């Protein structure tokens, strides 16, 4: 199923994200705002993936340019990755779609699962994921979100620190 899963990312998810202005290839796509802020969609497969079953989740992140270039930033990548996000969240399977685990991840064991999971990912990206990422690429909206303490699902930094890095008062 791994080959079929990769083909689904290449042939379905990638084109849908590119139609929204994202660049990149599976498993990571980026949308960069004129400010340099970056929205990231990353499809993470589980270490429990095997030749017969693929478990995956869709990670989303927003990496503001000042956050990426802050002094003492951990990591050494040339481009931000999903884990670098100031705001990070995940899309999970809709009830009724093949899934696995206490934090539900999509589960693909056969061709029909691949179709159903792919449809669900595309629906969620179109209805919630991409609109939320676009909203947070607006720096004022991101600052307002951080002020509420909403960092998505991540363990948040001190909001005052994050706001200072963003130049917000």
Which pLDDT belongs to residue 76? 67
Q: Cα–Cα distances in Å, from 28 out to 14, 81, 99, 146, 154?
A: 9, 8, 21, 24, 19
Ranges of residues in the chain whose predicted pLDDT is under 70: 76
* Terminal alpha carbon distance of the chain: 50
Q: What is the DSSP string of 75-127?
A: ---SS--GGG-SEEEEE-PPTTS-EETTTTEEEE-SHHHHHHHHHHHHHHIII
For residue 104, give the 3-state DSSP assignment.
coil
Q: What is the DSSP string of 60-75?
A: EEEE-HHHHT-TT-S-
All residues at 6 or more sequence positions from 68 whose CB lies less than 8 Å from its CB, including other chains: 36, 38, 80, 84
| Token pair 């379905």 in the structure block, residue | 12
The pTM score is: 0.94
């Amino acid at each position: 199923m791994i080959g079929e899963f990769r083909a689904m990312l290449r042939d379905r998810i990638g084109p849908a994200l590119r139609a929204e202005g994202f660049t990149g290839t599976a498993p990571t796509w980026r949308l960069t705002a004129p400010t340099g802020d970056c929205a990231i969609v990353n499809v993470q497969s589980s270490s429990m993936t095997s030749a017969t079953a693929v478990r995956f989740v869709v990670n989303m992140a927003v990496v503001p340019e000042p956050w990426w270039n802050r002094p003492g930033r951990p990591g050494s990548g040339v481009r931000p990755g999903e884990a670098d996000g100031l705001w990070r969240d995940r899309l999970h399977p809709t009830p009724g779609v093949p899934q696995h685990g206490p934090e539900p991840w999509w589960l693909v064991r056969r061709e029909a699962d691949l179709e159903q999971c792919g449809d669900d990912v595309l629906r969620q990206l179109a209805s919630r994921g991409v609109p939320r990422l676009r909203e947070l690429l607006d720096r004022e909206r991101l600052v307002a979100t951080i002020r509420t303490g909403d960092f998505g699902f991540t363990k948040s930094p001190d909001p005052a620190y994050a706001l200072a890095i963003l130049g917000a008062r």
